[in-house]
Amino acid sequence: MKQIKGLDSLMQKLSSLGGNLQGALKRAVQQTTQAAEKEANIRKPYSSISIQSEVKETVGKIEGRVFALPLWDMYVELGTGPKGQADHGGISPNISVTYTQHPWAYQTEDGSWVTTSGQPAKPHLYPAAKLAEPIFEQAAANEIRKEIRRVSNG
């Protein structure tokens, strides 16, 4: 989560001039989440994964989120079983993952059974988010400058 020092003071000053800093920051968050969504779509390992993004705004908070559907994508991102534990480079260091150590079986559509010891991680969301981080800083600076120019010319 990014926070900007002196934001409250800037918001008050800009608001007193008729500006909308919240709107400028929301545009920056939208640009960032769109960039992360695009990058995650490029990186996703399977076409059946749908990458989506959304921006939510509440009082004093703007949150951008990029996520994947179906929900089983978390197993693709993080890996599973001993194979995932052995090969999970590139996943978020902020996530604590416990990998099951026992093989398991599942039935395929044709009725046959498959035994597996998991799969290596195929991170696509976290790397996309990391690549998008500097985009927010630049987009926020640009959008704030635009808003300041708008109110100073008005």
Length of the chain: 154
Q: What is the model's pLDDT at position 60?
A: 76
* b/e map 25-55, b = 16+ CB within 10 Å: bbbbbbbbbbbbbebbbebbeeeebebebeb
Residues of the chain with pLDDT under 70: 1-4, 6-8, 10-11, 14, 154
Q: What is the pLDDT of residue 2?
A: 59
CA dist., res. 55 & res. 31, Å (int): 10
| pLDDT confidence of residue 118 | 95
Q: Structural domain boundaries of the chain?
A: 7-77+123-153
- Bridge partner residues of 115 (DSSP): 105
Q: For position 105, what pLDDT does the model report? A: 95
Q: How far apart are CA 136 and CA 139, in angstroms?
A: 5
70: preceding bond cis by omega (within 30 degrees): yes
- pLDDT of res. 147: 87
Averaged pLDDT score across all residues of the chain: 91
User: What distance in Å separates the CA atoms of residue 146 and residue 140, rounded to the nearest whole number?
Assistant: 10
β-sheet bridge partners, residue 114 = 106
